[in-house]
Amino acid sequence: MDIDLSGESDWTDMEQFRAPLARPFVSADPDPERFRVRYYTDPLGNLAARAWFGPHCEGPPGHAHGGSVAAVLDEAMGGNCWVQGHAVLAGTLTIKYRRPLPLGSVVTVRTAVDRVEGRKVFAVGRLLDASGAVVAEGEGTFIVMREELQGTLDAEARKAGRTFGSAY
Amino acid sequence: MDIDLSGESDWTDMEQFRAPLARPFVSADPDPERFRVRYYTDPLGNLAARAWFGPHCEGPPGHAHGGSVAAVLDEAMGGNCWVQGHAVLAGTLTIKYRRPLPLGSVVTVRTAVDRVEGRKVFAVGRLLDASGAVVAEGEGTFIVMREELQGTLDAEARKAGRTFGSAY
C-alpha cells in the first residue's frame, strides 16, 4: 500500500537518523499493518512526524487503540528529548484523548521540550488529524539516565549491532 | 516458545471472554514476538492478567518500550471498566514508570475502578514483575460512550463479524 508520509515544506527529513532513533515497538515495527512513521525536524529543530495507523493498531472497532496513540506520542516526545541532547527514559506519561482516530489515517505529530529541571525534561506533544483537529495531547516527564544505566543499555545495543545513546 | 501465563490460584480464567475483549493492538496481536496476554478476574471481580513482553516490544535496548507498557495498562484498565459494566473509551491515561522492564519478562497486571462520577470512570492499574516489584503504575479516566458513538462502533464490529459492546 502506498501511504504518503511526506512532511511539510519547512521540515527536514530525519531518515539519516532512522536506525538509532527507530524502535521495534513503533517506528521500526516489522509488521507493515501496524505503524508506519516517518520522522522530521521542524524549523525550531523539534522532532515532527507523519504516522499511519494500520489495521493492527485496532482498539475500539475500526479505530486506533488508546495504547497505540500513547506509544506514538511517547516515542516522539522521548525521541525529541534525545534530539535536544538529553539521554532519557520515560518517567511519567500523560495522554489526553480528544477524539477517536479511524484506522488508516495519517496523522501529524508535533513535539517540544517545555523546560528542563535537573535530570527531568518536561516534554509535550500533539497528534493532529489531516484537518488539523487535535486527536490527542501528550505530556511527559523524561528522566536523564544515570551513567551506569546508560552504559548498560549502550552495551546491550552494541551486542545487537546497533547504536543507542551515541547517535546525536 | 512456551511461556507460562497461568494465573494465581484464586483467579478465574477469562478465556471465554477473550474474543470480545481482545484487541489486535495488544491482546489479539497477530505478531507472536510482541505481546502475549492472558486475562483473568481476581476474587473481587477485577480484571487481572499475565503478560509477556517479547522482542518486538523493544524501546530502550533490551527493554520494553514505554508505549508498550502504556498499551498493556490502558487495555487492562479500560477492559476492567467494561467488565464492571461501563462501556467506555479512554479519556486520559497517566503512566508512571518505576523501573525498566527487560524483554522476555512475564508480568502481572492488576486493575481496579477507584470511583465513578457521572460518565467518568476512574480506573487504576499496576504492572508488577515476578518478584512483585512495581514496574509501572497507571491511572485512567475512561468515559462512558454516548449511545450514538457506541452504536457506530457496534455496527463496525458487526460488519467485521465481531462483537464489541454487547459481550458483558
A159: distance to nearest CA of chain B, Å? 10
Asked whether the CA dihedral B143, B148, B152, B158 is positive or negative, the reply is positive
Facing residue for A58 by CB, picked from B23, B55, B67? B23
C-alpha span between B72 and A68 (Å, rounded): 10
In three-state secondary structure terms, A48 is strand
CA distances for A128 relative to A22, A30, A49, A136, B27, angstroms: 21, 24, 10, 7, 27
Facing residue for A66 by CB, picked from B78, B100, B149? B78
* pLDDT, tens only, B127-141: 999 999 999 999 999
What percent of chain A shows pLDDT beyond 90?
Answer: 76
B116: distance to nearest CA of chain A, Å? 18
Active-site entry in B10, B31, B74, B154:
B74
> What does the pLDDT read at residue A15?
72
- Report for A137-141, A161-165, B154-158: range of highest mean pLDDT: A137-141
Nearest CA in chain B to A55: B24
Q: Which of B77, B95, B94 is nearest to B86 (CA)?
A: B77
Q: Which of B61, B104, B59 is nearest to A154 (CA)?
A: B61
* pLDDT, tens only, A53-83: 999 999 999 999 999 999 999 999 999 999 9
Residues 6+ apart with CB under 8 A from A102: A62, A63, A64
Chain centre distance of CA B79: 6
* pLDDT, tens only, A3-45: 999 999 999 998 755 656 678 889 888 899 999 999 999 999 9
Q: Please return the burial class of A118, using the count of CB atoms within 10 Å of its CB with bins 0-12, 13-18 and 19+.
A: exposed
> What does the pLDDT read at residue B60?
92
Angle, nearest 10°, between helix axes B66-83 and A66-83? Answer: 160
Average pLDDT in chain A: 91
DSSP symbol at A132: S
The ipTM estimated for the assembled molecules is 0.94
Chain centre distance of CA B16: 16
